[in-house]
Amino acid sequence: MHILVVEDDPTVRNFVAKGLREAGHLVEPVDNGKDGLFLAVSENFDLIILDRMLPGGIDGLRLLETIRAQNNSTPVLLLSALADVDDRVQGLKAGGDDYLTKPFAFSELLARVEALSRRGRSDNVPQTRLVVADLEVDLLSRTVRRGGQRIDLQPREFRLLEYLMRHAGQVVTRTMLLEGVWDYHFDPQTNVIDVHVSRLRQKVDKPFDTPLIHTIRNAGYMLRAE
């Protein structure tokens, strides 16, 4: 993926760029809004990682509003120290696709980057069936089958599995699950997500030979065929 990183802090910028390169992406790091805007409109990126507070007269939100006004729909991940709910709403309303607050874990950033890139591709075709290996989810009849065997899931477990299936092959963090499945935007102190994932595992993985839901240490979970 071709990713533009607009971030003024050199430590954060180098850290993000290095990590993304290691993950196999092509990264263009920029340290101010003016250069960022110039690159964003002159080149084609798959994703933009954008800091909100930038030097050089053009801050993140203005950059974002400008490229959105030019019908540029490149997914934008806002990365900001402004963490209030109001700030998040403001960022998302300006055209951001996701909002990550500092300090952040790189695994979280990477997971969100991958989720965003995937979403851009699959949103066009409405899906009715999700398939990973021998696991099938029918979104219309809301049934789950694995190896031809029907699995009964609670509604919430179904939504959790659906979310994992839609992001199959990607790391999904606990925060993403909280936001995506429960629509909660705060960090519960207990490991509620782990408990729910382990219950889902009991039903989806336990009776079968190969596990599909994998725990990614220090990051979250991933659903993938072995």
| Residues within the interface to another protein (CB under 8 A) | 37, 53, 57-59, 61-62, 65-66, 69, 82-87, 89-90, 93, 103, 105, 156, 182, 184-192, 195-196, 199, 218
- What ranges in the chain are assigned the alpha helix state H? 10-22, 33-42, 60-69, 85-93, 106-122, 155-166, 174-177, 192-204
Is there a contact between 151 and 144 (Cβ–Cβ < 8 Å)?
yes
Nearer to another protein, 123 or 152 (CB): 152
DSSP letter, residue 1: -
Cα–Cα distances in Å, from 170 out to 29, 116, 160? 24, 11, 14
Nearer to another protein, 86 or 209 (CB): 86
Q: How far is the CB of 21 from another protein (least distance, A)?
A: 20
Q: How far is the CB of 189 from another protein (least distance, A)?
A: 5
Residue 6: which region, alpha, beta or left (left: phi > 0; alpha: psi -120 to 50)?
Answer: beta
List residues bridging with 222 in a β-sheet: 214
Nearer to another protein, 34 or 119 (CB): 34
Q: How far is the CB of 121 from another protein (least distance, A)?
A: 29
Q: How far is the CB of 29 from another protein (least distance, A)?
A: 21
Nearer to another protein, 15 or 119 (CB): 15
